[in-house]
Chains A and B, each alone.
Chain A
Amino acid sequence: MNINCNDRERIFLDGTPEEWTALKEHAAACSECEHEVEAWKSLSVAASELHQEWDSPALWPRIEQALQQQSAAAKSPWWGRLLGNWNLTSLQWQTAAAALVLVAVTASAIWFIVRPPGSKIPADQALFNDHTVREVEKAEAAYEQAIDKLDAQAGPQLENAATPLMASYREKLQVLDSAIADLKSQAGMNPGNGHLRRQLLAMYQEKQDTLEEVLEAKQ
């Protein structure tokens, strides 16, 4: 097989083994091709060393536990998850009751804010039009941004939860995250569904309030 310097790039891209052999033979007598082939090979050698393996004996048990929790959570409705999986035994019942009242009040407040003033929502307007969906998505993005900032501030406090209260906040936030993820996925499939959007906003509000409480507790 006749190979010259002009074939080199093509062989680098998609050469057959026979062409590679011929290129190597050509490179033995051509310093430029020899240099190029060596450089190309050394990239592969260095790249292969980026593969890393290490033991993680705790990883599968952790994943298995998370899969079990998610599987159990998926079998109950989102509100069931919010209330049922929230470890009430680690909370003072007063705190739990206060949180429930807070959820109800926040949801009601959002309902009144989102609903057009002085009008009932007729059944045929339960779906948002495109413009409204865009507005709502903008509001959700703003919420997410604000919550991300709070999340970053509260993160260290939650990760090193030193008190039962902080541990409870962390659990509550995990449940809220799960509910938000579910609602977002449902809203993604049905973006014009106003009911889902309101529930999502209520969840965002609840998460924001919880993070603010965490930060207050920190101070």
Chain B
Amino acid sequence: MGTMGLALPWEARISEEQCHKGRTVDPTETTSRFSPAAANVSREDSALAAACRAGDLRAFERLYLLHASRMKSIARNLLGTATDAEDAVQDTFLKIQRSIASFRGQSSFATWSFRILINTCYDARRSRMRKKEVAQDEPEENSPRPEPRAAVSHPSLRLALERALSQLTRHQRDVFLLYEVEGFRHSEIAAVLDISETASKNTLFQAKRNLRQMLEAPRSSAAEAR
């Protein structure tokens, strides 16, 4: 299944005003939407897996060059800070090296790597929560603070969205982040999260509907207040 019809196409999803700003609102991305299965990537996918299996560090470097940027972004959205995100990416590469022998090629190598990344992020979240429980008596100033992000055109909506995202189920959050934030296709999300494409579409729809409700409520009450 392609990108079209899975949700709003880019030109419909993004307002015309937004089309002239920034990376994510470029309508040309309709064709360049991230795809580990895209021709140029898929050609070297199996070769890359084979080279990594053979222990070739240059192959790992190639994997890094191809996907580290999106890996960092996903990890940052799941973990909150750039430092934690980079640690998670490092752990992911170590896990890939440890378990490459078990990669049987049922999915693309890139998809498999992103699946490891997401599991690594949730492991890190769990470990952080355990440590927080232990250190809960320590003074508040020791707890990590969210890092500031780059300037965006809708800062208040983005902040509200970040808060609302944390209230979604893990599945809804993962699908939303992969599709809407990172530009994965539903077929790729299905492979990364080990669900069907239909489930991916339904989950995205539910996630967006929940987010809309969460984000709409304060706006409605504000309007009532006026």
A residues with a Cβ closer than 8 A to B are 12-17, 20-21, 24, 39-54, 56, 59-60, 62-64, 66-68, 70-71, 74, 148-149, 151-153, 155
Contact pick for A44, options B130, B158, B180, CB 8 Å = B180
Task: Determine chain A's interface SS by DSSP, over half rule.
Answer: helix
For chain B, the count of residues having a C-beta within 8 Å of the partner chain is 61
Set of chain B residues within 8 Å of A21, measured between Cβ atoms: 12
Set of chain A residues within 8 Å of B68, measured between Cβ atoms: 56, 59-60
Give CA–CA (A149, B6) in the complex, Å.
46
Nearest Cβ in chain B — how far from A10, in angstroms? 10
**A152 contacts B131, C-beta separation under 8 Å:** yes
**B181 contacts A48, C-beta separation under 8 Å:** yes
Contact pick for B86, options A52, A59, A67, CB 8 Å = A59
Q: Interface with A: B21-29, B38-46, B104-112, B113-121, which one?
A: B21-29
Nearest Cβ in chain B — how far from A125, in angstroms? 31
Task: Determine chain B's interface SS by DSSP, over half rule.
Answer: helix
Residue of A nearest to B92 (CB): A63
Contact pick for B89, options A51, A53, A59, CB 8 Å = A59
Sort A-B residue pairs by CB-CB distance and give the 4 closest, nearest first. Answer: A48-B24, A47-B180, A152-B134, A44-B13
Set of chain B residues within 8 Å of A68, measured between Cβ atoms: 57
Set of chain A residues within 8 Å of B90, measured between Cβ atoms: 59, 62-63, 66
B residues with a Cβ closer than 8 A to A are 4-9, 12-15, 18, 22-25, 55, 57, 60-61, 64, 68-69, 72-73, 76-77, 82, 86, 89-90, 93-94, 97-98, 130-131, 134-135, 149-150, 152-154, 157-158, 161-162, 176-177, 180-183, 201-202, 205, 208, 211-212, 215-216
